[in-house]
Amino acid sequence: MKRFIPRQKYIRIFLALCIVFSLVSIPFVYIISRQFSTYAMKQIDKANQVEVVHAQENSQFIFKKMMGYGLNMYQDKSIQLWLTDSKETPEHQTDAMKAAANYTTTEPFIENIYLFNMRSQHAINLKYGISTFAEFSDQTILDIVKQSRKSYLSFFNYQSNGLKKLALIIPTVPSGQQSFGYLVMLMDIKLLQQYLLKDNRATGTRSFILDREGKVMLGSEDTVELYSELAPLSTEETGSFAHTYKGELWSIQYAQIEPQGWTLYQTAKYDLVLADFNSFRNKMLIFAASFVLLMLAILFWNSRRTYKPFSQLADQLEMKFGLQLKNANNEGPREEYKVIQYGIEMLADQVDKMDTSMREHKSVIKLEYLRQWIVQGKLIAPVEHYLREQTELFEGDGLHLGVIRINEYSLFEDQYNFASRKLMKYAIGNIAEEIINRKWHAQSVDLGGDHLALLVSGSDIHMSGLVEMLEDVVKQIQDWTRIRVTIAVSEVHPFGDDLRSIYKHIHELTMLKFISGEDKIYLEQDFEAYMERIQPLPDANLLDELIKRVRMGKTDEVAASLGLIFGHMQTMHYADSKFQLSLILYTLFKTFNKLPSVESVEGIESILERYDTLSGIKGWLEQELLEIMDDLSNKKGSSRRDEIVTEIVEYVKNHLHDPLLTIDEISEHVSLSTRYIRQLFKEVFETTLSDYIMEERINRVKGLLETTDWTVTDIGERSGFQTKSNFFTTFKKATGMTPSQYRDRR
C-alpha cells in the first residue's frame, strides 16, 4: 500500500486537501442549490398570482369599458335614427356609418361594427357597407340577433365562415320583447389575447380565459381536455393549485372576471420551470468544482514554491546554454545550483557585450531619435532624456530648424546610385555640422528624398550671424562635393514646439529659389513676400487633378485638364500668366522629379521664352506629360526596379514612426503611381506594401519592448500607431500576446 503513497510531502498534502475539499464543498453546494430552488418556486407562484390578479383587473376594466362604449355608440343620434327607420334613407345610412366609423377609429379593441334595422330588413357591415338581411355576409350573427337573449349585457363567442369571433349585442332585451334595431360590436381577439394573456411555450407558461362550462373564450384551444378539468376546480374568486394532466404536473393560478362570469387562468409546467433550477444547480456544482480545482492548484503551487523557481531557472539556463554548462570532466550537466551559478555568470557576460554593442551604435540610435522627433513633431520622455545625454542641442536658448535641399535632384539621381546618394548626403550633413559646431551646436538628419534637415541651437544666435554661417555652408558643400544646394532656416523656436509643421514649412521655403532665382539663405519672412505675389488659379484643384490623371495614365482627361488650366490663364495679364506657368511647371517638375525637355528647374525660364503663345506652351506641355506617362508605365527594368524598391524600403524605415505614413505619400516620393508601386513591391517581396509596413512596425515594437523600459503607450506612439486600442489589437493579432505579456516573457 505504501508504494502508492508519493514520497514528496507537498504532493501528499495536496492529495489530502483534494479529498477534504471534495467531501465538504460539493454536498454543501448541492443542498444550498436545492433549498434555493424550493424557495424560488414559491416566489414564482406568488409572482404569477400577482400577475393573474393584475390581468383580471385589466380584463374587467376592458370588458366594462367596451360595454359602456357600445352603449354610447348605440345611443348616438345618427345610429338611432337609422336603426328606427321604417325604410332605407341614404342620408341616414351615411350618417350612421360615419358615426360608427368615428367610434371605431378611437378604440383599437373593436374589429368591426354591425348595425341591423329589423323594420327595413337591412344590415350595415362597417367594413363592407349596407346590404339586405338575405345578402348579409355573416348569417350566423344575424340568426343570433333574431333569437331572444338574457336580460343583461354579455360577450359571447360564435363561429362564422370558419373563424372564431367575440361579440356583444346591444341592446339585450328580455325574452319575448323586440327591438327595432341592434348594434353588434366585434372585438379584435388577437389584440385582446396579446394585451391580456401571457404565453411563453419555451418556459411552459400559458394563459387563457374560460366560461363557466370550460369553453375557451380567449386563448389557445389545443388542450381542451385540460380546460374541462380545470373549470370545476376553480370555485373561489382567486386561487392556485397543482394539477396533473397526462402525467405532467401543472401549476395553476386563476381569477374570476365579473360580470362576464369567466375565469382567467395562468398555467405552467413544473418540469420546464424546474429545468432552469436544475441548470442553475449544475452550474453551481461546476463552479464549485472549478473553484476547488483552482484552490487546489494554488495550494499545490504554494507548497512547492520554495524549490520550483530554482528548478525552472536551472532548466531555462540549460536550454539556453546547453553544452556550455557541462562540468569540467565532461560527465554530464552540473548540479542545479552550479547550473544557476555559471548560467548567471554567462548571462552577465552577455549583458556586458550587449552594453558594448549599444555604445558602438549610439550614433545610429541618436539619428533615429532625431528623425522621429522631426517627423512626429513631439518628444516623449525617454527619447528626450536620451537626446539630452547624447547631444548638446538642448544647451541652447531655443532651436532653429533648417532644410538643405539639393538642386537639380534629377541630375543628382542620374549621376549617383542609391548607395552613393546616401554617402553624398552624409558628406553634406557632415560639412554643415563641422562649420556650425565651431560656434554653436548642430545635427543633420537625412529624411530621404532631395533634402536633409538641420537642427541648430546655441546661446545668443542672431539671424544675421546664422545666415552668414549658412552661406559658408553652401559654399563649402559646392567646393567639396560639386553639389549646389539651397538652404532655408526658421526663426528660433522653443524645444516643445511642433517640429513637424515647422519642418514642412521650411522645406517648402527652399522651393522659393525657383520663383525668385536668388542664391540666398531663405528665411520665414521670404515666404510672406512670396504669398503676396501669388495670383492663384480660380479652381485650386485643377493642378492636383492634372497630376492625378497623369499618374493614372488617362490621356484624354490630361488633355481636358490642360484645356481648363490654360483657359483660365487666357484671362490673365501677361506677367501674371507667365508667373502662373512658372509655378505650374515647377510643381510638375517637383512632383515627377523631371520634365523630359528640362534638365533642372533653372531651365524652365528658357523654355517659357521659346514660345510666344499660350497654345504653343500648352502643346509642348501636353507632349511632355505624355512622355512622363509612357515612362511611368515602362519603368520595369530589373535594375531600376530594385533601386525603386530599395528607396521605398529606406523611406518606410525612415518614416515608420509617422502614423500618417501612407502609400500615396510613398508613391509621391518615388514619383510613381500608387498602383505601380503596389505591384512592384508585391513582385519583389511577395507581400503587399501595407503588410510590410505593419510587419516592420510590429518588429520595431518587439525590439523596443526587449531593449527599453519605456511605457507600452510610448512605444506604440513611437512605432507609428495612431491609437492605443489599434496598437494593442494589431500587436495581439500578430503575436498572440499583448505588449505587456510579450515584455514579461523575457
Counted residue by residue, the chain has a size of 746
* Contact (Cβ atoms closer than 8 angstroms) between residue 136 and residue 158: no
Predicted local confidence at residue 325, as pLDDT: 59
Residue-wise pLDDT tens digits, 337-347 = 566 777 777 77
For residue 174, the one-letter residue type is P
Average pLDDT over residues 351-364: 66
CA atoms of 428 and 473, how far apart (whole Å): 9
Please check the confidence at residue 490 and state whether its pLDDT lies above 80: yes
Q: Which of 349-353, 395-399, 459-463 is the least confident region? A: 349-353
Cell of 535: 495670383
Q: Which residues of 398-437 are buried (b: 16+ CB within 10 A; e: fewer)?
A: ebbbbbbbbbbbbebbeeeeeeebeebbeebbebbbebbe
Please check the confidence at residue 724 and state whether its pLDDT lies above 50: yes
Predicted local confidence at residue 388, as pLDDT: 86
Average pLDDT over residues 539-543: 69
Average pLDDT over residues 125-137: 89
CA atoms of 654 and 291, how far apart (whole Å): 53
Predicted local confidence at residue 605, as pLDDT: 66
Residue 650 confidence class, pLDDT cut points 50, 70, 90? confident
Predicted local confidence at residue 3, as pLDDT: 54
Predicted local confidence at residue 584, as pLDDT: 79
Q: Which of 90-104, 357-371, 729-743 is the least confident region? A: 357-371
Please check the confidence at residue 474 and state whether its pLDDT lies above 80: yes
For residue 15, the one-letter residue type is L
Residue 442 confidence class, pLDDT cut points 50, 70, 90? very high
Please check the confidence at residue 142 and state whether its pLDDT lies above 60: yes
Residue-wise pLDDT tens digits, 213-228 = 778 888 877 777 777 7
* Contact (Cβ atoms closer than 8 angstroms) between residue 645 and residue 669: no
205 forms beta bridges with 200, 268
Residue-wise pLDDT tens digits, 502-515 = 888 888 788 777 55
Residue 404 confidence class, pLDDT cut points 50, 70, 90? very high
Cell of 120: 327595413
Query: CATH 3.30.450.220: which residues of the chain?
Result: 1-323
Spelled out in words, what is the top-level CATH class assigned to the domain 1-323? Answer: alpha beta
Predicted local confidence at residue 7, as pLDDT: 40
Q: Which residue has the cell 548560467?
A: 343
Strand runs (DSSP E) across 154-247, as ranges?
156-160, 163-170, 181-187, 205-210, 216-218, 238-245
CATH fold of the domain at 360-532: Alpha-Beta Plaits (3.30.70)
Predicted local confidence at residue 303, as pLDDT: 62
Residue 403 confidence class, pLDDT cut points 50, 70, 90? very high
| Residue of 90 and 591 predicted with greater confidence | 90
Tell me what the pLDDT averaged over the chain comes to: 78
3-state secondary structure of 202: coil
- Provide, rounded to the nearest whole percent, the portion of the chain with pLDDT above 90: 6
Average pLDDT over residues 380-397: 84
Predicted local confidence at residue 636, as pLDDT: 45
Please check the confidence at residue 402 and state whether its pLDDT lies above 90: yes
First to last CA, the chain: 45
Q: Which of 237-251, 554-568, 601-615, 700-714 is the least confident region? A: 601-615
Residue 87 confidence class, pLDDT cut points 50, 70, 90? confident
Q: Which CATH superfamily is domain 638-744 in?
A: Homeodomain-like (1.10.10.60)
Average pLDDT over residues 20-31: 70
Average pLDDT over residues 519-533: 75
Residue 100 confidence class, pLDDT cut points 50, 70, 90? confident
CA atoms of 658 and 652, how far apart (whole Å): 9
Kindly report the pTM of this predicted structure: 0.43
Residue-wise pLDDT tens digits, 71-83 = 888 888 988 889 8
Percent of the chain as helix, strand, coil, to the nearest 5: 60, 15, 25
For residue 545, the one-letter residue type is E
| Residue of 25 and 468 predicted with greater confidence | 468
Please check the confidence at residue 427 and state whether its pLDDT lies above 70: yes
Measured from the Cβ of residue 604, the count of other Cβ atoms closer than 10 Å reads 20
Average pLDDT over residues 475-481: 90
Average pLDDT over residues 394-401: 87
| Residue of 488 and 664 predicted with greater confidence | 488
Q: Which of 32-41, 245-254, 387-396 is the least confident region? A: 32-41
Q: Which residues of 324-357 are buried (b: 16+ CB within 10 A; e: fewer)?
A: ebbeeeeeeebebeebbebbeeeeeeeeeeeeee
Radius of gyration of the CA atoms of the chain, in A:
47
CA distances for 165 relative to 29, 66, 67, 155, 158, angstroms? 53, 15, 16, 10, 6
| Residue of 585 and 159 predicted with greater confidence | 159
Q: Give, to the nearest 10 degrees, the angle between helix 574-592 and helix 542-552.
A: 40
429 DSSP assignment: H
Q: Which of 31-35, 232-236, 536-540, 650-654 is the least confident region? A: 536-540
Query: CATH 3.30.70.270: which residues of the chain?
Result: 360-532
Write out 511-537 in H/E/C secondary structure.
CHHHHHCCCCCECHHHHHHHHHHCCCC
| Residue of 675 and 517 predicted with greater confidence | 675
CA atoms of 643 and 438, how far apart (whole Å): 37
| Residue of 387 and 541 predicted with greater confidence | 387
Query: CATH 1.10.10.60: which residues of the chain?
Result: 638-744
Measured from the Cβ of residue 98, the count of other Cβ atoms closer than 10 Å reads 11
Residue-wise pLDDT tens digits, 259-308 = 777 888 888 777 766 666 667 767 777 777 777 777 767 766 766 665 55
Find which of 13-17, 221-225, 229-233 is predicted with most confidence, using mean pLDDT: 229-233
CA atoms of 725 and 709, how far apart (whole Å): 20
Please check the confidence at residue 328 and state whether its pLDDT lies above 50: no
Give just the sign of the alpha carbon dihedral 522, 526, 528, 533: negative
